[in-house]
Amino acid sequence: DVEGSYTIQVAPGTYNMIVSYISFISDTLTGVTVAAGEVLVKETLLFENLQAQKELEVVITAKRDLASTVTLYNTKRNSINTIDGVSIDLIKRTGDPNVAAAMQRITGVTVEGGKYVYVRGLGDRYSKATLNGSEIPGLDPNRNTVQMDIFPSNLVDQIVVYKNFTPDLPGSFSGGLVDIRTKDFPTKFQLNVSTSWGFNPQANFRKDFLTYQRGKKDWLGMDDGTRAIPDFIQNLAPSKVPDRTFQLNDEKTIQTIDAATKSFRTSIYPHIGRSGANQSHQISLGDQFNVFGRPFGYIASLAYRKNFSAYDNGYVGRWRNISDATQKPPLIADRLLNQLSLDGAKGEEEVLWGSLIKLSYKPFEKHKISFNYMHNQSGNSSTRYMIGELPVDAIGLIFETRVMGYLQRSLDIFQLEGEHAFGKNGNFKIDWIASQTESLQEEPDLRFFSNDYEQDGEKRLYDIQSNLYRDPSRFFRNLSETNKDAKLNLAWTFKQWGGKNATIKFGGAYTSKNRQFSEKRFEFQQGNAAQRYEGDPAAYFSPQNMGVFVDEVCYGVNCFEQVAYKVFVQDVSELRNVYRGQQEIWAAYGMLTLPLSKKFKLITGARFEATDAFTETDDPDKGRGILELKDILPAFNMIYGLRSNMNLRAGYGRTLARPTFREFAPFTSFNFVQDFLLSGNPNLSRTLIDNFDLRWEWYPALDELISVSAFSKRFTNPIEKVIEARAPGSSASAEQIYANVDRADALGVEVEFKKNLGFLGAAFSHFQLGGNVSFLRSRVDINADELAKIHSVDPTRPNRRPLYGQSPYSFNGELAYIHHDNGIRASLSYNVFGERIVVVGGTEPDVYEQPRGLLNFSVSKTLTKGFSLRLRANNLLDPEYKYVQRYKGQEFIYESYSAGRSFSLSLTYNLK
């Protein structure tokens, strides 16, 4: 039927039952005795009698287990697509807490910033994410893909990455299409409960944990409103604090500024607190039973995680190339000039929880309808303190800066899907899905407070100099997006010459996106009546030193009134810091799967996609970004069966990458971490990519695999961040803009293997060795205008660079021990990637993230009565997180820190 379940109807008696499936080892059960009306259970196959149709018949039904590695390999073997993935089996062994961490195990996949997935070395803008085949939006306004860390791994059965294009897939990916497949209901009642507690000496149970005033609902991953813009300001018309003036104002204006300043209740500076333990808890239950005589299944799951991280050995450096090659003779510096050198500490507390409900009903034998609901919630509270010199401004000037932020993310996903089979043999199938996703990312009250001081003997002379850095500021950012997605697929399987099954598949899809983004910024400026900052933030921001009032000033006998400003607030938001966008995509496709011989299969077809999108801001002087496209995307793939367990795959497909809302919105924002202004470009066009793929794969045994893949990609009009560089000697922030460049190329080789070590002897029969390695190369043309600016300070710089975020290599390895009889499962895993560009520097050298090896260990033991115990040790090597710039053979540190080692112990109860 539509689930792959099957039925055997036989009279009572004794039988030999032969079980076989392509790529699996056939098995024969001899002497199977069937009795009328009784349940037959064979533990070796986990078959269960669910229904006796007649008194003299027995029905045996099986449901494939998506969570197993064996199922994943079988899916890869028989798929018309070139796919890779990871199952929950491996995730349980390695102990990965979320989907982002688990995806590092997949061939050719690296994860940047713990969130963003790069497939085949290509940036997140060339990847797409779906949940059970339905598109989901990203939560980062500056990114094209989903932040994968928001999905708890224990709500997932499989993560599959499609690496080649077929017309039944969305055409807007090149690196990979990531499909997250949620848990499915079991065939009988199951209950799973687990709890885990962890410890990182660098972050947990610290009395010196860097933090700030929290909200009462932080433990739920959501703000309780204390970080919101004060109601007084929200109720102003038009929500705007009056501008500053030193002239005499009317009483209402003075009172408004004063009340607005004092309406900010929470502090703008951090303090030292205590951190707790890392913890993770999960419960899930599911069952299947009959409703109106037909199977009904359900699963419900809830997962919660709280994690502390910290470091006190951080470093931040900012460097400037002061060369001027336009002079005669050229002035070429022999090193970069240090502008900023800060040591720092950071404390971070993250809460992540998710819930899943799935209901499924089969009203008829060949028809199934399912409903899925998933909610994911994440809250991240971070506090950072940095101190050091500003050598570019004044020798001996010590700079202090503090950043306090809260990032709240949520996803609500509703899905309704159906599968239907018609005909005697179910040779005509229809499947459909309709979904709606509501995503929200809020950054309430992102706070910045900086000052400097000079040492005068034993005394420090403090100051806040807005000409060198920003006044104390508070940002409020909000991103909301609604996605609607509908897909319909129809497939007809028929006999063609030689009796082989061919399939014609066609269908359509519709997606719509509606995004709203807003940013408000408030600065706390120092007035003529304010107390001078003396190094005590509490005193400086005390109620007595904040506000505006009318003061009487006397010069001799002449007295008059003037407005006296202490520390007061100003709304410095800009109209261009609000944008909205809408996008609609209509798609239709047709494809043919045609066996040309017993071993040779052809898959070909084309997809049509029409795009209609726009973006705009509240600034009437800014243009409107408009995108109207019609694209035909062909695909041609071949599979040749060298043996029954060996395939050779080759294919070509054309895909595209549309500008994201952020990229073609006429909107400018400031990136505090990278010290860049970032502007959208309403004149962007989409990128077309020609993809060529080749793979050889061999499945020597049930759960063993060896594969070698090669790929080549050519990008036409790729979108890159282009630097509008600073003039030599300028202290102004550089501006990054999105622009189309002429061309880019990428190519690579991937190798994956998994092998049982029993061939070394009986003592090794429970050991498995697996891993994957990728070698990648890419190059992109640097925009001509940007290249001219670069050569004005560095004439030797090449006119091409690697693609943003592309690693030249990645490696994943795992040595596993699995002993079902004594219930021991252990995993030692290692992951490393090559250096990759994380900041396109323009006239300054590009910033490269350096390789770091992650070594993790996990071991679990089954105890009695469904209980099991697990010990995990992560990041055992504790490598340095390091980002560098290189110039004339020298290395300049852009940022560095270490995360520390972590350990956890978990207890699980599983009732089946």
pLDDT in tens, 294-318: 999 999 999 999 999 999 999 999 8
C-alpha closest to that of 832 among 111, 319, 127:
111
Q: Peptide bond before 543: cis, by omega within 30 degrees of 0? A: no
Angle at the Cα of 733 from the Cα atoms of 731 and 737, rounded to 5 degrees: 145
- What does the pLDDT average to over 231-255? 77
Q: What is the DSSP letter of 265?
A: -
Residue 196 — pLDDT band, cuts 50, 70, 90? very high
The residue assigned the tokens 């037959």 is 40
Q: What pLDDT, on a 0 to 100 scale, did the predictor assign at position 820?
A: 80
Q: What pLDDT, on a 0 to 100 scale, did the predictor assign at position 327?
A: 85
pLDDT in tens, 838-857: 888 888 899 999 999 999 99
Q: How far is CA 337 from CA 17, 203, 391, 883, 888, in A?
A: 78, 34, 9, 17, 13
pLDDT value at 22 more than 70: no
Residue 382 CA to its chain's centroid (Å): 19
How many residues are present in the chain? 912
pLDDT value at 49 more than 80: no
What average pLDDT is seen over the chain?
85
Q: What pLDDT, on a 0 to 100 scale, did the predictor assign at position 487?
A: 96
Percent of the chain with pLDDT over 70: 90
- Residues 317 and 315: their CA atoms lie apart, in Å, by 7
- Residues 155 and 167: their CA atoms lie apart, in Å, by 29
- Residues 609 and 504: their CA atoms lie apart, in Å, by 20
pLDDT in tens, 651-682: 999 999 998 888 888 877 766 545 567 788 88
Q: Specify which residues 477 forms β-bridges with.
A: 443, 519
Which residue type, as a one-letter code, is found at position 720?
Answer: E
Q: What pLDDT, on a 0 to 100 scale, did the predictor assign at position 847?
A: 92
pLDDT value at 40 more than 70: no
- What does the pLDDT average to over 98-117? 79
C-alpha closest to that of 90 among 816, 861, 811, 704:
816
State both tokens at 344.
């720092």
